[in-house]
């Protein structure tokens, strides 16, 4: 498993670096939308296995929001996309319902999938469009990946105390601490020698890298909860050794949202 993961990373990381740093904005945005589409399909496949029409509605609703985020970073079209998704879901599920109680539950599942898949990851489009946006994208992805790697190896070497066994039996408190140290180390290296994004004494960098790691771990746990709720092991199979797109992006989506608003709101 580890060998397959490493082989996938060796191929994917150079492509990812080029996409972030050098690809035209249109290509980058289309790739983000394509990944969003696959993640929505994976979520729908987990949650709506017995209802193909609900699966289609989940994907369509999420892509409506994601496309709106691409077309208008100021928010007006995003609000419209969310309203369209909400109204369409309620109309399709409730207006034709034979069992209203089950239909309300299904509508909630559809909206959860649409918002989870269609709102979080497309913040990458907004983040890259900021001043020094490609550097911010590189920073958050590097810290989140370092958090994952630190947690994996730190947990294997030092893990003794379970973090949340009911949700993720293999995760340990020691692995969680190692994740933070991994994010801090790589964040410091990238910021000091390559990106030069966060000036000052290092306190701000420490807080940002720590927040990225904690949010990455939270995102991983949230997806574990969803997989347990839907009784699946992996969200998909598209990435050898990594499972599906949701399995690979679960630790990225919350840090991406955090770093976007951090970079946007703090001068």
Flag whether pLDDT at 30 surpasses 70.
Answer: yes
Q: What is the pLDDT of residues 42-72, one digit of tens each?
A: 998 888 665 667 788 899 999 999 999 999 8
pLDDT of residue 243: 67
Long-range contacts of 28-35, Cβ-Cβ distance < 8 Å, separation of 24 or more: 28/125, 28/128, 29/70, 29/125, 32/70, 32/121, 32/122, 32/124, 32/125, 33/63, 33/66, 33/67, 33/70, 33/122, 35/121, 35/245, 35/249
Count the neighbouring beta carbons within 10 Å of the beta carbon of residue 256: 25
Pairing assessment for the beta strands 168-172 and 162-164 based on DSSP bridges: antiparallel
pLDDT of residue 1: 53
For residues 242-246, average pLDDT: 75
> Is 16 part of a structural domain of the chain?
no
- Please state, in angstroms and rounded to a whole number, the distance separating the CA atoms of residues 240 and 117: 21
Shared domain check, 267 and 143 = yes
> Is 8 part of a structural domain of the chain?
no
Residue 182 carries which DSSP code? H
pTM of the model: 0.89
> Is 5 part of a structural domain of the chain?
no
Shared domain check, 251 and 155 = yes
Shared domain check, 149 and 30 = no
Shared domain check, 83 and 140 = no
> Is 33 part of a structural domain of the chain?
yes
Number of domains composing the chain: 2
Greater confidence (236 vs 210) lies with 210
Say if CB 34 and CB 249 are below 8 A apart: no
| Residue 132 falls in which region: left (phi positive, over 0), alpha (psi -120 to 50) or beta | left
Shared domain check, 181 and 115 = no
Q: What is the pLDDT of residues 97-124, one digit of tens each?
A: 677 778 888 888 899 999 999 999 999 9
Closest C-alpha among 23, 219, 235, 16 to residue 121? 219
pLDDT of residue 127: 95
pLDDT of residue 149: 93
Flag whether pLDDT at 7 surpasses 60.
Answer: yes
pLDDT of residue 115: 94
Shared domain check, 146 and 32 = no
Flag whether pLDDT at 33 surpasses 60.
Answer: yes
> Is 60 part of a structural domain of the chain?
yes
Shared domain check, 173 and 88 = no
Q: Which of 102-106, 131-135, 163-167 has the lowest mean pLDDT?
A: 102-106
Shared domain check, 73 and 205 = no
> Is 2 part of a structural domain of the chain?
no
Average per-residue pLDDT for the chain: 87
Greater confidence (28 vs 12) lies with 28
Q: Which of 101, 122, 143 is the last residue of a domain?
A: 122
Flag whether pLDDT at 260 surpasses 90.
Answer: yes
> Is 14 part of a structural domain of the chain?
no
Shared domain check, 162 and 109 = no
Shared domain check, 134 and 67 = no
Shared domain check, 62 and 166 = no
pLDDT of residue 133: 93
Q: Which of 122, 144, 176 is the last residue of a domain?
A: 122
Shared domain check, 261 and 173 = yes
Q: Which of 69, 97, 122 is the last residue of a domain?
A: 122
Which domain covers residue 81, as residue numbers? 24-122
> Is 63 part of a structural domain of the chain?
yes
pLDDT of residue 2: 55
């Amino acid at each position: 498993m580890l060998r397959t993961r490493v082989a996938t990373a060796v191929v994917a990381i150079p492509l990812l670096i080029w996409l972030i740093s050098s690809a035209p904005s249109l290509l980058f945005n289309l790739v983000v939308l394509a990944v969003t589409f696959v993640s929505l399909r994976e979520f729908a496949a987990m949650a709506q296995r017995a209802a193909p029409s609900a699966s289609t509605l989940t994907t369509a609703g999420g892509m409506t929001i994601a496309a709106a985020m691409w077309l208008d970073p100021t928010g007006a079209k995003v609000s419209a996309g969310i309203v369209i998704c909400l109204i369409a879901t309620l109309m399709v599920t409730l207006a034709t319902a034979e069992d209203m109680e089950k239909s309300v539950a299904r509508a909630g599942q559809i909206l959860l999938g649409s918002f989870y898949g269609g709102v979080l990851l497309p913040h990458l489009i907004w983040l890259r469009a900021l001043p020094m946006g490609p550097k911010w994208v590189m920073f958050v992805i590097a810290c989140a990946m370092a958090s994952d790697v630190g947690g994996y190896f730190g947990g294997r070497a030092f893990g003794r105390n379970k973090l949340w066994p009911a949700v993720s039996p293999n995760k340990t408190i020691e692995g969680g601490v190692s994740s933070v140290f991994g994010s801090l180390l790589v964040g410091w290296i990238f910021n000091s020698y390559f990106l030069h994004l966060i000036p000052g004494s290092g306190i701000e960098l420490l807080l940002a890298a720590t927040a990225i790691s904690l949010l990455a771990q939270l995102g991983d746990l949230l997806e574990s909860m969803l997989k347990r709720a839907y009784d699946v092991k992996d969200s998909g199979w598209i990435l050898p050794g990594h499972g599906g797109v949701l399995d690979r992006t679960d630790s990225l989506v919350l840090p991406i949202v955090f770093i976007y608003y951090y970079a946007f709101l703090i001068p």
